[in-house]
Structure 1
Amino acid sequence: MNNVVPFPGEPRNKGGSGDGGGPEDPMLEQRVARLESDLAEIKTLLKGLSNDIKGLVEVFADVKGRLAKMDGELSGIGHRFAALPSTWTMLAIVFTTWALGSGILIFAMNFLKR
């Protein structure tokens, strides 16, 4: 291990022989055990999240289907509104009706005077 350069101010062999034969920290096994339990907890949480995500995918698929249905219905309403007469057409119908009504009334009054 001659190619390892120590940090400045640190002794060359810190409590061990420096040959890599064992851990320098006696608490290493406890730390590894705690990390393993934490990892097991993380795996459990991820499995739960996976199930939640699958549920959300189903909900989003349902929402997507509903939105497609609403889009089709709104498209149909748009075609129905397009088929309605415009404002100018309605005004022409109203004025024509008034003109015809006035003409019939004038004809009736002239016919009855005789």
Structure 2
Amino acid sequence: MGDVVDFNLPGEAKRGNIGGGGPEDPMLETRVENLERDMKDIRSTLHKSELLLIEIKAHLVNCATKDEVAKLREDVIDVRARIATKDDVAALRGDISNVRQDTAELKGRFDGLDKRFAYLPSTWQMITFMVTSQIALAGLLFVAVKFGLK
């Protein structure tokens, strides 16, 4: 402490009264008022911060926990593994194209069958033919029995 030099200027407080001139200091009241005003600001800010902390705590209840986030990451990894790659999509497009070609080929075959069936006689035509042929056969038998075969 012997190396410390006192640089008191005229009108400043003497050594030992550092920080003000004591109770008779005219600036003391002004300084206290400033401190009280600052304390009000600090309390107001502290109150606002406290309200914000309460609001944050209320929102944190709905936030995911560390375990939930880890589970979600695992689920995302599983989903990514199941998502089709570009090669898978290209293969599916090729398969769809093949199915379309096969469907067109089958349609062409069915059209050919429809044309064939168009040339076949209908049910009524078949019934009419059968009935008339039976009547004609009965008539021939009748003529053969009546006029001839002995």
TM-score range, shorter chain: 0.5 to 0.7
Q: Which amino acid aligns with 1:96?
A: T
Aligned residue number for residue 76 of structure 1? 112
Aligned residue number for residue 100 of structure 1? 136
Aligned residue number for residue 125 of structure 2? 89
SS at match of 2:114: helix
Work out the percentage of aligned pairs sharing the same amino acid: 28
- Considering only aligned residues, what root-mean-square deviation do their CA atoms show, in Å? 2.4
**From 102, 109, 114, the counterpart of 2:145:** 109
1:47-82 alpha-carbon deviations (Å, 9 max, x no partner): x61111111111111111100000001111112222
Aligned residue number for residue 63 of structure 1? 99
When the two structures are superposed, what TM-score results if normalisation uses the length of structure 2? 0.42
Which of structures 1 and 2 has the larger relative contact order (alpha carbons within 8 angstroms, sep 6+)? 1
Pick the structure with greater CA Rg. 2
Offset of residue 113 of structure 1: 6.4
Offset of residue 112 of structure 1: 2.5
Aligned residue number for residue 86 of structure 2? 50
Count the aligned residue pairs: 72
